[in-house]
Amino acid sequence: MSGPAVRARGLLARGGWIDLAAADGSYALRIGGDRRARAAMTLNEATFRALVESPGLKARKGGGWVERPAPTNPPSPPHGAPGRIEGERAVMEPDGRLTLRRANLGESPIGWLARRRDAEGRPWLSPAEIAAAERLRLDAERAQSGPSLTMRWDALPRAGGGGSSGRLEPGDRALAAWRRVAEAMEACGPATRGFVEHICIRGRPIQLAEQDFGLRRRAGKWLLKQGLAALADHYRIL
């Protein structure tokens, strides 16, 4: 563990807590309950991630995170536990309603952006944009779970074809999901679809995606937000 992480760990053990410090993505570690109190130290994303892994953080009543108490007999950590950040994510139900579900906000670039706020303290992404990104990701996973699509063109419905029972086999479901992904990417528009694909489907970190597309730093967030707004409109998420 790095020097800043060791120091932060000591402050957490003394009753410190972590809060978002500014729109630049830094974190403030404060002693005491007052958000207006001067930060004992400022953490960057790498240090914060190190603390998420060890000693582990949990949500603090009133906002922010505090140290997660170690169990008396700690079990072996489950796979994927490091980097877990408990929170809520907006998802769209089959009937079109938006609901909040508990989720690991540290598991994807969209989850990372969902925790970010602008200079005025407003969430960077709207619930509709987050839900649209999640729907696209799930459809992409379903599309990849079936047989190779290059071998499934015979499953396409044919005009005038009869005798279908209406039952969807696993391969058909994957093909239907692939169609939905293709339609969604088309709705994003040529200017944003590639960037949306990199972030939502491939899970590419936004900073690396910006490098891939030759964008200046933070420009990708605006491009992604534009694409997700079009995607939410396509899905009719309000």
Q: What is the pLDDT of residues 79-138, one digit of tens each?
A: 444 445 556 555 545 454 555 656 555 557 787 777 788 778 888 888 899 999 989 988
Torsion angle in degrees (nearest 10) through CA of 39, 44, 48, 51: -80
**What token pair was written down for 113?**
């952006």
pLDDT for the residue numbered 188: 93
Per DSSP, the residues of 52-101 read HHTT-EEEPTTSSEEEPPPPSSPPPPPTT-TT--EEEEEEE-TTS-EEEE
DSSP structural state of residue 8: H
Mean pLDDT (the chain, rounded): 75
Quick: pLDDT tens for 192-224: 999 999 888 887 888 888 888 898 888 888 999
d(CA 99, CA 191): 30
pLDDT for the residue numbered 235: 93
d(CA 18, CA 10): 13
C-alpha distances in Å from residue 169, one per residue of 68, 91, 146, 147, 164:
45, 25, 10, 11, 12
Least confident of 28-42, 101-115, 170-184, 189-203: 101-115
Per-residue confidence at 78, pLDDT binned at 50, 70, 90?
A: very low
pLDDT for the residue numbered 85: 54
d(CA 62, CA 187): 39
**What token pair was written down for 115?**
């925790």
pLDDT for the residue numbered 45: 80
pLDDT for the residue numbered 184: 93
Point out which residues pair with 117 in neighbouring strands: 123
**What token pair was written down for 4?**
């800043």
